[in-house]
Chain A
Amino acid sequence: DIQMTQSPSSLSASVGDRVTITCRASETINSYLNWYQQHPGKAPKVLIYAASNLQSGVPSRFSGSGSGTDFTLTINSLQPEDFATYYCQQTFRTPRTFGQGTKVE
């Protein structure tokens, strides 16, 4: 299986901060990488697909970059509703493994 490792596991931030979360794959996955946001008690929601494509309706302060094995999710000017847990997921090969999550608090 392809292992996905996110860092950090958690971070403390304030409204208005710029936040960066990284995701590393154990082997190359080209750009087959999605980012999801999950609030407590809620279903995940896709933010970014194919590494850098913003899902419709997602605020432009979210952006994704990377290719190969290293990827980044950036949140510019963190808003109160952005405090959540973020997951990366590779879709290069099944099983479509997730990272362990990054909690932004």
Chain B
Amino acid sequence: QAQLVQSGSELKKPGASVKISCKASGYTFTSYPVNWVRQAPGQGLEWMGWINTNTGDPTYGQDFTGRYVVSLDTSVNTAYLQISSLKPDDTAIYYCARDKGVYRFTHLHYYMDIWDEGTTVTVSS
């Protein structure tokens, strides 16, 4: 069945970088965009951005530009989120989620239908 599997927890020092992977299986990877969502401890969900897995074009939320890079390796059906110059405020669970598109009354709607359990990134000196 279709699933996403993320890389394991990371403990990083401030100023370091981290690269989280999200490997897809059970479906055609390039047919569905991949989203990234952040959840800080005890907080709500924040949409970070998504990547078109067919073209490789990323789109970032306004709060997630500069230090954040979303990329792909279609040869291994994997999306990546890299965060540089880490700060303690980057401590969070990072989720990848598949974007599914459906038509309703000629309008194309997207929703995140498959998620992994997330990757915990802890930034601490």
Contacts and interface: CB of A to CB of B under 8 A. Distances in A.
Contacts of A3: none
B113 A46 contact: yes
A94 interface: yes
A81 interface: no
A97 interface: yes
Interface residues of B, number: 26
A43 B47 contact: no
B47 A50 contact: no
Contact of A1 (B37, B49, B62, B107): B62
B89 interface: no
A79 to B, nearest CB: 22
Contacts, number: 69
Interface in A40-92: 42-46, 49-50, 53, 55, 87, 89, 91
Which 6 A-B residue pairs are closest in the complex by CB-CB distance? A95-B61, A49-B111, A43-B115, A50-B109, A96-B47, A101-B44
Interface of B: 35, 37, 44-47, 49-50, 59, 61-63, 95, 97, 102, 104, 107, 109-113, 115-118
Given A31-B107, A46-B112, A55-B113, 6 more contacts: A32-B107, A43-B115, A50-B104, A95-B49, A99-B44, A101-B44
